Structure 1
Amino acid sequence: MDSPVVTQLFRRLFRHHPACQSRQNLAALASALRDVRRQHRLLQQQRHHGRRCYSSGGRGGGRTPQYDLNWQQRSDIFQQDMSDEFKKFPLVTAMDLRNRTERPRRVKMLMRDFIEDSLYNPNYGYFSKQVVIFTPGEPFDFGSLYDELDFHSLLSRRYVEFEDALDAVSPSDTRQLWYTPTELFRPYYGEAIARYLVANYKLTAYPYHDLIIYEMGAGRGTLMLNILDYIRDVDPDVYDRTKYKIIEISTQLATLQNSQLMQSTAARGHADKVEIINQSIFDWSHTVPSPCFFLAFEVFDNFAHDVLRYDMETQRPLQGLVLIDEHGDFFEFYTPHLDPVAARYLRVREVATGGRHKVPYPTTRLGRWLAGQKPLSANLSPPEYIPTRLMNFFDVLGRYFPAHRLLTSDFHSLPDAIKGLNAPIVQTRFQRRPVPVTTPLVHQGYFDIMFPTNFQTAEATYQAITGKLTRVLSHEEFMRRWAYLEDTETRSGENPLLTWYKNASVLFTV
């Protein structure tokens, strides 16, 4: 599906229908599609056919020194030069926009701030307003299923039933519904994590310290309940010394976690051990000197990234910014002046990896020369998305949680990612169907922007910042060590807990 067309289509759709109903959506969809196709044909006829794929931000006939330029990316839809607006519009951050109730216009911001605002703004962000976490109801009885196909069929039925029930109360064409391994393999996934925690707690801190667990991005709170249930039932002495603290940026999810804690008698029994802290981890400001475990499952993938492109002749990086005009349309610019956070990440990565990391351009002189001989070759490399927010997270752990042990799991690869090195998947759901696009510059709050994690680089960066030692295992290897595999094995011998997350890895402090 062509990204600029789809992006323009959804922008028109959501601008005029913030809480769309089904028939209104279909009419707007058809009208927007006709308008965008007409505009696309006209602009294709006017398109220039120069060698460079990017136009400089300068105007007039004078020649500007190469590194005084801001480069505006061209696309099939937007060709107009916005360099004057780029000079005039103020530079804002996601923090500046936190209290805004409407999406910003006539501003520019770094790509990481645009992504963070899109995902986490309290008033219109994806995780603040759009996301619904699927829960399958009763745990799956894997022993009664013949094979993985049988499990998939049952999961599909429950998925439809879950959304049907939601639509019966509040119909929505733009509901963002997703699931996690914690929910799919409840309670067995959480019990595997609990075994890891208890075993390592007894080896390193018991009986001199309490078992303190921090979880970031806890979803519905299911992992918390599964871990506490297991410790209470299996090791009461450890349970007596357990404290569980959730750090949750979304007020909506923090409220849901509180309600889950009060939902049953068994869950209410954990209430005196649980604290739900409704704030961003990046706002943390006090030191936790005690030994603790820090859990972050499927969190790294939604950390904001910066985007870089490199000059193909000099390999100098240029940092991406997003300009939003008075109509809410987006334009991408690149500047050779890196902000301090992006510049520091490049320095830390270089030292931590010894310079052994991937880059989005040919590394040999011959390779660069051959790339330059291609018709319509670009003067800048394909984009590279760098995890600057992940670096900030490691900074928080190192500074405020000096005695922590990190346990995290996330995706090391993602299918159907957009163009670029370490590039994300960008998609939404419309009428229960996924709609992928090929740019992160989309209507804020309606699209998931999910990045893969390069665990080799992330591990090296974490070690360099915190000074701690780590290990990385595949999801399957970790579960073989800590899960009771017979709990999730089907009659055929297939085990979905081991095979469904082949593209996930686990990193933990040793």
Structure 2
Amino acid sequence: MDSPAVTRLFRRLASHQFCQPNCHLIPAVSAQQWRSRSSAPATYSKPRAPEKKPKTTSESNWQQRSDHFPLDKADEFKRYPTVTADGLRGRKERPRRVKMLMRDFIEDSLYNPQYGYFSKNVTIFNTGKPFEFNTIQDEPEFNRLLGERYTQFEDNLDEKEYREDRQLWHTPTELFRPYYGEAIASHMVANYKLSLYPYHDLVIYELGAGNGTLMLNILDYIRATDPEVYARTKFRIIEVSNALANLQNHHLNATAASRGHADKVEIINKSIFDWDIYVPTHCFFLAMEVFDNFAHDVIRYDPFTEEAMQGSVLIDADGDFYEFYQRTLDPVAARFLRVRDAACQDRAYNHPLRGSKMLRNLRHRLPLAPNLTLPEYIPTRLMQFFSTLSTFFPNHRLITSDFHSLPQATPGFNAPVVQTRYQRRTVMVRTPLVQQGYFDVLFPTDFGVMEDVYRALTGRLTKVMTHEEFFKRWAYVEDTQMRSGENAMLGWYKNASVMVTV
């Protein structure tokens, strides 16, 4: 913890009701698996002193009756400078007396090199030796074994350094290694040999590689099954986190088997949004569970005029947060709305203005009704990622998997789950305006809309399928089948989809 205020914040969590067991980091229900991680129950960045008057206007779901911003903070909103996540990268302290767009606030919270969530507070669960699924009786036994390994993993971490606020989470790559990575490798090798071999090398980029497990599993599989393809394979990781880049390099050199891949691998420690190198070669681009942590902008609409208003976050002198909405959209948000309108003309997607305009007007004219719609979170960073692929990787083939729905999200459309972890339990909150660096903010992906936006920006065709459909096609499903006939890798992550360039 980096301040007494933050310490008090987390201690207050003990007096709040924690989430139900099926949101714990130790999985209990496989039908709705999602990457469990972090959050805490305060709309303010720190606890309020008892004698102070509660500042109810900082509640992110509060909707003003007569204006689109808190009047008691209007003067500060005019005076405070506007900052961006890029401009805050060099700061060691969380900013105060500033304002920024919601996407910059989320980006800074997750990725700031000094205090960001992924830079300082995240530990990725490692199962130790892979599970022998064929010897496990059924899913309840698998859940029990996984829970035991989770506990042992964290007990070992506590022996080195005890932390009540450790942020620990798992990924399908780690849970189902090496079979998860082998399925992706099988897909890439088959498509590479179908259209690129022997005239081009097999070049693979991976965005946000975590522990580096997926990279090693893919390279192990290709080396074992197709030495000729392996001889022409190159693997490049693009990793924004210094800590994770170092961890990936450590795991690459940890054993004789992994060191054998060293001449195949390059770890590039930079943000994909800073990418400025043109890559004309044909390549596969992996983005597995990274869309959910791309920053979003927040938009609310006037229910009568249907005018879009963009949300900003004001951080006052006390470090408290306030949402403001303005009628002028910044160029990035405006571009997303234009691209979506053009690309999704034939698609009926979920949206605050869908449905009967008459009923909406009647509802908002009722006493005490809000004067703005519920918030809509738009994936502006994801749009910029697609633009980067189009501009710098014109011959890429994207392979991505992420969550198309998330339970217990904050109010709104395409709204995030915001959570932290305290004393080995997951705690949910109802706003993304939380202490920077200690909370995970993850969004669902509307794959229908994103497929259309991707096609519009890159000109490439795609196919979207469920997690189960993809791994039925490309995995050796016998390897993850339990004695009861249940299949762990196919049964979990029912709320995830896979999109590939065809």
Q: What TM-score do you get using the length of structure 2 for normalisation?
A: 0.90
Question: What corresponds to 1:72 in structure 2?
Answer: 69
SS, match of residue 317 in structure 2: coil
Q: Which amino acid aligns with 2:476?
A: Y
Q: Provide the C-alpha distance between the structure 2 equivalents of 1:462 and 1:225, rounded to a whole number of angstroms.
A: 29
Q: Which amino acid aligns with 1:461?
A: V
Change in 2 beyond 3 A, CA 1:24/1:476: closer
Question: What corresponds to 1:480 in structure 2?
Answer: 472
- 122, 125, 134: which is aligned to 2:116? 125
Aligned-pair Cα RMSD in Å: 2.3
SS, match of residue 81 in structure 1: helix
SS, match of residue 127 in structure 2: coil
Q: Are residues 1:392 and 2:384 paired?
A: yes
Among all aligned residue pairs of Structure 1 and Structure 2, give the percentage whose two residues are the same amino acid: 60
SS, match of residue 82 in structure 1: helix
1:441-480 correspondence to structure 2 within 5 Å = 441-480=433-472
Q: Is the 8 A contact 1:302 1:449 kept in 2?
A: yes
1:380, distance to aligned residue in structure 2 (A): 0.4
Q: Is the 8 A contact 1:306 1:319 kept in 2?
A: yes
Q: Provide the C-alpha distance between the structure 2 equivalents of 1:166 and 1:17, rounded to a whole number of angstroms.
A: 25
Q: Provide the C-alpha distance between the structure 2 equivalents of 1:28 and 1:304, rounded to a whole number of angstroms.
A: 26
Q: Provide the C-alpha distance between the structure 2 equivalents of 1:214 and 1:421, rounded to a whole number of angstroms.
A: 32
Q: Provide the C-alpha distance between the structure 2 equivalents of 1:93 and 1:110, rounded to a whole number of angstroms.
A: 8
Q: Provide the C-alpha distance between the structure 2 equivalents of 1:87 and 1:488, rounded to a whole number of angstroms.
A: 58
Q: Are residues 1:269 and 2:260 paired?
A: yes
- 273, 276, 282: which is aligned to 2:273? 282
Change in 2 beyond 3 A, CA 1:239/1:344: same
1:189-204 correspondence to structure 2 within 5 Å = 189-204=180-195
Change in 2 beyond 3 A, CA 1:141/1:28: closer
Q: Are residues 1:54 and 2:59 paired?
A: no
Question: What corresponds to 2:179 in structure 1?
Answer: 188
1:361, distance to aligned residue in structure 2 (A): 3.5
SS, match of residue 359 in structure 2: helix
Change in 2 beyond 3 A, CA 1:17/1:336: closer
1:363, distance to aligned residue in structure 2 (A): 3.5
- 69, 74, 79: which is aligned to 1:83? 74
Q: Is the 8 A contact 1:140 1:185 kept in 2?
A: yes
- 136, 145, 148: which is aligned to 2:136? 145
TM-superposition CA deviations, 1:346-372 (whole Å, max 9, x none): 000000001633221354232223312
TM-superposition CA deviations, 1:1-26 (whole Å, max 9, x none): xxxxxxxxxxxx964166x5xx9964
Question: What corresponds to 1:221 in structure 2?
Answer: 212
Q: Are residues 1:256 and 2:247 paired?
A: yes
Q: Provide the C-alpha distance between the structure 2 equivalents of 1:379 and 1:482, rounded to a whole number of angstroms.
A: 50
- 422, 432, 435: which is aligned to 1:440? 432
Question: What corresponds to 2:222 in structure 1?
Answer: 231
1:214, distance to aligned residue in structure 2 (A): 0.1
Question: Which structure is richer in relative contact order (CA contacts within 8 A, separation 6 or more)?
Answer: 2
1:253, distance to aligned residue in structure 2 (A): 0.1
- 80, 94, 109: which is aligned to 1:103? 94
SS, match of residue 421 in structure 1: coil
Unmatched segments (≥5 aa) in structure 1: 1-12, 58-70, 74-79
SS, match of residue 194 in structure 2: helix
SS, match of residue 87 in structure 2: coil
Q: Are residues 1:493 and 2:485 paired?
A: yes
> Structure 1: which 4+ aligned runs deviate by more than 6 Å?
27-35
TM-superposition CA deviations, 1:119-163 (whole Å, max 9, x none): 000000000000000001000000111001110000000000000
Q: Provide the C-alpha distance between the structure 2 equivalents of 1:14 and 1:100, rounded to a whole number of angstroms.
A: 14
Q: Is the 8 A contact 1:107 1:323 kept in 2?
A: yes
Q: Are residues 1:163 and 2:163 paired?
A: no
Q: Is the 8 A contact 1:414 1:452 kept in 2?
A: yes
Q: Is the 8 A contact 2:10 2:422 kept in 1?
A: no
Question: What corresponds to 2:34 in structure 1?
Answer: none
TM-superposition CA deviations, 1:256-309 (whole Å, max 9, x none): 000000000000000000000000000000110000000000000000000000
Q: Is the 8 A contact 1:362 1:368 kept in 2?
A: no
Q: Provide the C-alpha distance between the structure 1 equivalents of 2:9 and 2:109, rounded to a whole number of angstroms.
A: 24
Question: What corresponds to 2:374 in structure 1?
Answer: 382
TM-superposition CA deviations, 1:149-203 (whole Å, max 9, x none): 1100000000000000000100001110000000000100000001001000001
Question: What corresponds to 1:62 in structure 2?
Answer: none
| Paired residues, number | 470
